[in-house]
Every structure is written in C-alpha cells, then in structure tokens.
Amino acid sequence: MNEQWVSFANEIKKMYGKYFVPLHEPTFNDTEIEYVTDCVKSGWVSSVGKYVDRFERELAEFTGVKRAVAVVNGTAALQIAMKIAGVKPNDEVFMPALTFIATANAASYLQAIPHFVDVSEETLGLDPMKLEEYIKEIGVMKNGNLVNKKTDRIIRAVVPMHTFGHPVDLDPLVELCLRYNLALVEDAAESLGSYYKGKHTGGFGVAAALSFNGNKIMTTGGGGAILTNDERLADYAKHITTTAKVPHQWEYVHDEIGYNYRMPNLNAALGCAQLTKIEGFLASKRALAIRYEKLVEQIDGTRLFMEPTFATSNYWLQTVILDSEVHRRDDVLALLNDAGAMARPIWTPLNELSEYKICPKDELTVTEKLKETIINIPSNPLKGHAFYDKT
C-alpha cells in the first residue's frame, strides 16, 4: 500500500518536472507583467482606475450575472453579499459545516449566527434534501419569516459553498429558499468557471462572492467580488464598499458607516491579465483531472472525486476520496508530503472549532465521514498547455 502512494507521488513529480510539487500556486506570464507595469506607469495604483472598471465588467460578462463589484478579498465579498441580501445582527444563517472558515466569519462580522448543516457525498456541498427535513423539524413560519423554534431567532439566509469548484445541487435549494423566504447567497469563492446545468455558479441567488486569493483558480494577489443580478443591490454594494461616500466634487459626505473594501487598481490589473487566460486554466485543470483519475484508479481503496452529473466543474483543487477501511488519512498525507507531492486534508468542520462550537447545528453524519476521507493533491495547470503561449 505504501509503495502505491510513493509511486503516485513520483508520477506527480514527473508530470510537473519538480522535486517538490506544491498544492497550488499562481500561474503568470508576460501578460501579467505588461498589465501591472501599465498600471504602475499610469500612476493609478489605488482604489480607482480603468482596470477596476474593466475587471468588474469582464467578470460580470464571464459569469453571466448583471453586475460584479470588486473588493479586497473573498471574505469581505461574502460579508457584503450577505449584508445586501438582508442578513442582520442576531439572524441565523444556514451554511455547511464543511467549508473554509471565511464562510462563518463573514456571517459573524455582521453579528449573525452560523447554523451548520450537513453536506452530500454526491457534491461535497450542502445537501438540500437533508436541509428540507431539518427545516421541517426545527423551523416555523412567523410573519413570513422562518424562525428557529429552539432559539426563536429568524433564519435569514442559506449560504451554500461549491466545494473545490464542484457545484451543489442548486435547483432544489432555490425552491427551498422560495418556500421558506430564505435569501440564497452563494459562496462561490472556489467556483469561478464552474457551471450548474450550463449556467455559471454565483447567479442563482440574491448575491454571491468570488475570491481571487493567491491559491484560487485565478488571482489578483488578494481580492474578491460580489456578484448580483440586482442593479440596485450592486449599486448599494459599490457604495458601502467605498466608505459610503456620496459623490461630490470636494465634500466628504458619507451617508452610513461604510467599509474601505475597494479593490486597488493594481490588483485589478493583475486580475484582468489572469482573466484573459481563464479558459486555458479551465481546460488544463480538466485535462489534469482525467490524468489523475487513471492514476488514482491504480491505488486500492481510492477514487478521484469527479463532477456531479448536473455540473461542469472548474476542478480547482483535485480531490481524492479514501476508503476509510483501507487508508488512514494522516498516514496518506505523511507519505505524499514526505515523497514530495504536497497534499492536505479537507477543513476541520467549523462546528469543531472553539469559536463556533456553540452554534446551532443539524446532525452532521456525512460531514463526520468526509472529514476523514478527503485529501487534496497538487492541482496547478500543467506546463505545456496552450494557455502558456497565449498572451
């Protein structure tokens, strides 16, 4: 068994031509240097400039939503997406327990309370069927709002997260949100370039958040964006992320407590350059998944997680599912990392973290199972693929 993992690591090193292969790192070429240099030369490196406008326009175009508002990071995008969707202090927000901590932190910044629910083995994301059963058990409609019978708090929103780029089953979730007056806010931080039944993720609810952190499918250094099909909400998101400043030639008038969350032009320049290559990144990651699927097949008790039937995934992080009868997760992680192929487990479920232990939650049987059986392996686009030559 150990030899199988070591030879797998050796295959990975051969594929990438490296002695140690990182999990994920940014891919740049002359285009980034050209755009960023142009930005520096223009003097417009800060929070206004032509690259911010262009980046927002092109993001909206690529994702098929009406508007995108660029901000400093994905966590800030998620906070503002929830805020414009109506999340208020003391509201509860349904979210998967198996997600990156930013999903819960963004709700906490609004003084809302994360309410953890279980995920599906088919998507690795929020399970709409199980959520429906749970709502019937703990919820009651009062004055048009869903109220948690146990805490007497309003449950305002649902925040599904498209794990490693694989879309959750959105149709039943949209229907559930309509029925119980819940705002749907997608944490699409990992799913730029992922489609549900042919439509880009991030356009199914009131708003969504993207992240352009250095480890994501494309990067702006640090950055994020709020997506929405509601022009009025987009204008409001732009306003409050720009210190809520009322436009005036010289006066400083701010009409509420806003945030300084604008994405600097310098970062947007990097983003515009990366966006010109997004189709190449996606094609390369898909090709990598097909190669990995064959390699992983040769290891007993493992499989590569493949996109759900209704989805076209961006395959952001390649994911191996271990049979827990055959493998101990941490043994596998040690073998791969020692052999030079970086590998990491999925996140610790948020309900287990000290600051989120007290939050309300459903029983989390699938979460419990998956946390022991999911690892990520090196996922960078492979060299030699077409996008390297495209500028």
Ligand X SMILES: *Cc1c(COP(=O)(O)O)cnc(C)c1O
- Could you list the residues that contact ligand X (CB under 6 A)? 73-75, 78, 99-100, 102-103, 161, 187, 189-190, 211, 213, 224
Q: How far is the CB of 351 from ligand X (least distance, A)?
A: 16
Q: How far is the CB of 167 from ligand X (least distance, A)?
A: 13
Q: How far is the CB of 124 from ligand X (least distance, A)?
A: 11
Q: Which is nearer to ligand X, 62 or 388 (CB)?
A: 62
Q: Which is nearer to ligand X, 91 or 187 (CB)?
A: 187
Q: How far is the CB of 153 from ligand X (least distance, A)?
A: 23
CA-based max dimension of the chain: 70
Cα-to-chain-centroid distance, residue 177: 20
Q: Which is nearer to ligand X, 302 or 351 (CB)?
A: 351
Say if residue 172 is exposed, middle or buried (CB neighbours under 10 Å; 0-12, 13-18, 19+). middle
Q: How far is the CB of 187 from ligand X (least distance, A)?
A: 5
Q: Which is nearer to ligand X, 73 or 319 (CB)?
A: 73
Euclidean distance between CA atoms 12 and 101, whole angstroms? 29
SS3 content of the chain, % helix, strand, coil (to 5): 40, 20, 40
Q: Which is nearer to ligand X, 65 or 339 (CB)?
A: 65
Q: How far is the CB of 104 from ligand X (least distance, A)?
A: 9
Q: How far is the CB of 31 from ligand X (least distance, A)?
A: 22
Q: 207 pairs with which residues across the strands?
A: 185
Query: Could you identify the residue written with the tokens 């309300």?
Result: 360
Say if residue 246 is exposed, middle or buried (CB neighbours under 10 Å; 0-12, 13-18, 19+). exposed
Q: How far is the CB of 99 from ligand X (least distance, A)?
A: 5
Q: How far is the CB of 374 from ligand X (least distance, A)?
A: 14
**Cα separations in angstroms, 19 against 9, 12, 13, 287, 339:** 10, 10, 6, 22, 9
Q: How far is the CB of 349 from ligand X (least distance, A)?
A: 13
Output 323-331 pairs: Cβ under 8 A, ≥24 positions apart: 323/373, 324/369, 324/372, 324/373, 325/301, 326/1, 326/300, 326/301, 326/302, 327/1, 327/301, 327/302, 329/372, 329/373, 329/375
Q: Which is nearer to ligand X, 217 or 321 (CB)?
A: 217
Q: Which is nearer to ligand X, 203 or 224 (CB)?
A: 224
Euclidean distance between CA atoms 343 and 331, whole angstroms? 11
**Cα separations in angstroms, 300 against 12, 264, 319:** 17, 48, 16
Q: Kindly state the tokens that stand for 124.
A: 């690795």
Q: Which is nearer to ligand X, 94 or 180 (CB)?
A: 94
Q: Which is nearer to ligand X, 99 or 120 (CB)?
A: 99
Q: Which is nearer to ligand X, 128 or 160 (CB)?
A: 160
Query: Could you identify the residue written with the tokens 């909206």?
Result: 60
The residue at minimum Cβ distance from ligand X is 74
Q: How far is the CB of 209 from ligand X (least distance, A)?
A: 7
- On whether the CB atoms of residues 211 and 190 are closer than 8 A, the answer is yes
The residues near 259 (Cβ < 8 Å, ≥ 6 apart) are 76, 80, 240, 241, 243
Q: Which is nearer to ligand X, 180 or 196 (CB)?
A: 196
**Cα separations in angstroms, 182 against 65, 134, 135, 168, 185:** 20, 14, 11, 17, 9
